[in-house]
Structure 1
Amino acid sequence: MARDYDAALKALGTTMTSIESVLDLDAMRAEIADLQEQVAAPDLWDDQANAQRVTGRLSVLQAELERVSGLRSRIDDLAVLVELGTEEGDSDVLAEADVELGRLEQAVEALEVRTLLSGEYDAREALVTIRSGAGGVDAADFAEMLQRMYVRWAEQHKYPVEVYDTSYAEEAGIKSTTFAVKAPYAYGTLSVESGTHRLVRISPFDNQGRRQTSFAAVEVVPVLEQTDEIDIPEDEVRVDVYRSSGPGGQSVNTTDSAVRLTHLPTGVVVSCQNEKSQLQNKASAMVILKAKLLALKKAEERAQLDELRGDVQASWGDQMRSYVLNPYQMVKDLRTEYETGNTQAVFDGEIDPFIEAGIRWRRGAEAAAS
């Protein structure tokens, strides 16, 4: 059956017009022009923090504008390609158009989902913490599988990842890990991954080959900027230094460079051991601590609102996804009902369909609650 290219191109054009309206391209261009003026100022780097903010914001906006403009150009080019193939009856050209149409539909849908990220901190980079839960060594192994999954996802999108701290389990896997995904909107995108993840499989650590259920918790918080108001008095933080563990160079494992911070009023504990310098690790740990305290504050505010609404349900992120490897192969999101039988692809980082479904689901839940 021949593809109705006219209808498909019209639908893409309509969606792009909606996206361009939401993103307000005129306002984006005006802000870019203003930031370019600031970047050109000779005294820009007198204030390094502000310079980094300005140049970072400019880079993000330019990339965003280029992405939108590029998609619009590709839609126009595809229309020309379809017209050419149809007029000449060239099946090869139409086959090429069909492939490009599929790619464009995916790219436009992903951009449309991005426009749904309008929360206060959605545009920030993300701090991801994964902890093994019930299930012993299988849970520790599962936590490491999840870490690999998110790192592979980031690599596919060319997002830099910085691992701050990893606590290795004795037999296999990890007890916990904290890493940053350094990309605009990483927090808004990955925040729908927060919650309890469940794995069912034949345990590779069980001599009798029994089926094992194990759990891991994923926490995602935004990376804060210097302008964010989170003040932590020094007397509220206990600082412990210790020797790094696990894989690493000689200087990492032979000096007390790792740092653990404990926020005494809340009991929040964070660690960092990725740098050789104790001062660098302390600075990175403070970034993580501030982000987690902000997340805690927001969670308390949400809990108060839920209480006022009479909402007695557990957090939407709890028990959010099941990964079943035996007796059948299935990964299923318990909130959105999205599922796939290609479990290996998911563990290799192909989680965009789950993320996009989660973002749409959350927007619908927020609309229903308001």
Structure 2
Amino acid sequence: HNLPVKQPPLSDKCWLHREQPVPNQPYVIISQTAIQQIDAHSSSNLRSELGGALLGKAYRYEDKTFVEIRATLPAVSPDHGPIHFTFGADTWSQLQRDRAEQYPDLDIIGWFHTHPALGVFYSSDDVVVHSAAFTLPWHVGLVVDPVSKEIGLFGWINGQLAPFSGCYELLDQFSDPVIPWRVVRTAVWYDDSHEFGTEPNSGVYMPGNQLPSLLGISPRFGLLVGAFGVLLSFILLLGWIVPLSTQVGQLENVVLTMSNPALAASNAAACPDSRLRILSPLTGTSVNVGDTITILGSANYPDAARYQLEIRPAGVESWALLSTKRWNANLGQLGQWDTTNYQAGSYELRLKAVDRNNVRLNESEMCQISLDLRP
């Protein structure tokens, strides 16, 4: 991807929030205009998640990549609630039309959405949307908690989605910073095991709004409260199952619709069957020896007993089994590749559907991508 060369305004017109970028992280510069637009939209509804598109330009200077967020567009989506926000196909089309009419000189360089009173993190649904629709190395995601007044940025670092260490505010309107949030660096959740109130194992920041401890209560009353809690948990669980299943199904359809243009020249060409498709990492991605690569995509093929991920050095005839998955995955984690014991060079990774004898289903297409390991 060839980006234009431009000198960034870091020296005299920008204010650093939190920390400077880590190696291979894009430098994110947010204009005060965009900050005010995000603040106004995110504060307009504290009961449901909201979102929109980030507009601006990406460029390079010396050996660094810069992303300037100059404006935003709010997304009007009927599919949003207290714990989810989804770009519908109609919503996405409307954003494209609004950009062409209002900001014809700017590009869609990412997306933003809110987590009201939930904290700042990238959920597994966020990972799916970003991995499918925002695949370029400089595409960024921005999460705002308008209740706790915190913000975090996420994007691609060495081919993996990761939290960014900070950002710069462009002082284009006022000489002092106007950003109303505290910039935080949290984590990316690649599966659902941390969601809906469970305790994270990955050091994810959670807002400190726990209930105060109950002191001086009799054991009998405590037992009654505990029984009521179990009953309430069961009722809430029943209440979550149906809407959560519906949300996942809708998210799958929307993301596949958005992903087709973005992946036409890369992973979609390497994976012609959408039922067996690796979405992340992108084919041609370079990673460092020692990294653990999380492989995301879809594996949902009729009559498949299991799915296998295999790896081999480029030019070698035989394949080595990397991992096996026994259940279907609709836009989820397919496996991981720990590159610690591999030598630098070019590798080929493939996904295939097999029967109970580990024989590839004859009618199934294989998904095969290439990756480069750097020393």
Same fold (TM over 0.5): no
Q: TM-score, normalised by structure 2?
A: 0.23
Whose strand fraction is larger, Structure 1's or Structure 2's?
2
Counting helix residues as a fraction of each chain, which structure ranks higher?
Answer: 1
Tell which structure's C-alpha radius of gyration is larger: 1
